[in-house]
């Protein structure tokens, strides 16, 4: 297998933390998003959508969706389960991963891609050009603050997002918070449970890079 990635970006960071927690070492090639390497050949011949990460399997199949890659690697490397240990915990982990992406990641992306000059004409990822909509910036910021509150309420009295162990749900929530800093958002002071959880997760070896 070979992984194409750009570690500072949020979706690659989700995968990087997972790999570090599992102790998985993959052949890796960096794709420089800052120089728009992901939008030109030879990378687009690997992933025509021009996104990272992309995992090329030994038979040539290319996987480009993080949750699919995580699920695949979880089955290959079942030691230290990160996606639940039974049907219910797996369902809860996947549900929170989805909420973090749809309510958190996309809210940050809404702000970033509709305000940063670097994303002019590229307000959505992929090969199709979409113009920025500045009116979406305020909505995105409100969505970020709302999701901080959702996470804070959920984490009251909990050490982890699901059950008694660190999982993919914790990875997704942690990376959302880190990503929100890209648009100068921060956890409100009244979200004490979320602040404490974030501080604890930040001490893990897997989240240090």
Residue-range definition of the domain harbouring residue 176? 87-207
Residue with tokens 């800093």: 181
Q: 63 in a domain, yes or no? A: yes
Phi/psi at 12 (5° precision): -60, -35
Note the pTM of the prediction, 2 decimals: 0.96
Q: Which of 31, 1, 12, 4 is nearest to 209 (CA)?
A: 12
Residues 66, 105, single domain; the answer is: no
How many percent of the chain have pLDDT more than 70? 100
Residue with tokens 């996606």: 83
Q: 81 in a domain, yes or no? A: no
Q: What is the mean pLDDT of residues 9-25?
A: 97
| pLDDT level of residue 95 (50, 70, 90 thresholds) | very high
Q: Which of 20, 44, 76 is the last residue of a domain?
A: 76
Q: 95 in a domain, yes or no? A: yes
Q: What is the mean pLDDT of residues 68-91?
A: 97
Output the pLDDT for position 72: 98
Cα distances from 28 to residues 4, 16, 31, 103, 136, in angstroms, run 6, 11, 10, 30, 35
| pLDDT level of residue 37 (50, 70, 90 thresholds) | very high
Give the Cα separation of 51 and 127 in Å (integer).
9
The pair of three-digit structure tokens given for residue 130, joined into one six-digit string: 């979409």
| pLDDT level of residue 19 (50, 70, 90 thresholds) | very high
Whether the pLDDT of residue 147 is over 90: the answer is yes
Phi/psi at 196 (5° precision): -65, -45
Residue with tokens 């990272």: 52
Output the pLDDT for position 207: 97
Q: Which of 76, 110, 133 is the last residue of a domain?
A: 76
Output the pLDDT for position 209: 72
Residues 192, 91, single domain; the answer is: yes
Which pLDDT tens digit goes with each residue over 43-54?
999 999 999 999
Output the pLDDT for position 64: 96
Q: 168 in a domain, yes or no? A: yes
């Amino acid at each position: 297998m070979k992984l194409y990635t750009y570690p500072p970006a949020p979706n690659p960071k989700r995968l990087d933390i997972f790999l570090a927690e599992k102790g998985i070492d993959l052949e890796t090639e960096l794709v420089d998003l800052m120089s728009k390497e992901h939008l030109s050949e030879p990378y687009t011949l690997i992933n025509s959508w021009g996104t990272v990460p992309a995992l090329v399997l030994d038979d040539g199949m290319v996987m480009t969706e993080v949750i699919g890659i995580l699920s695949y690697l979880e089955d290959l490397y079942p030691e230290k389960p990160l996606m639940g240990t039974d049907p219910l915990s797996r369902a809860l982990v996947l549900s929170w991963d989805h909420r973090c992406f749809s309510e958190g990641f996309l809210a940050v992306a809404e702000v970033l891609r509709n305000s940063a000059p670097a994303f002019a004409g590229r307000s959505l990822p992929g090969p199709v050009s979409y113009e920025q909509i500045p009116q979406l910036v305020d909505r995105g910021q409100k969505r970020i603050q709302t999701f901080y509150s959702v996470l804070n309420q959920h984490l009251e009295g909990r050490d982890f997002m699901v059950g008694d162990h660190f999982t993919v749900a914790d990875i997704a929530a942690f990376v959302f918070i880190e990503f929100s800093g890209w648009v100068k958002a921060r956890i409100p002071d009244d979200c004490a449970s979320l602040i404490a959880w974030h501080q604890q997760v930040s001490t893990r070896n897997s989240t240090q890079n």
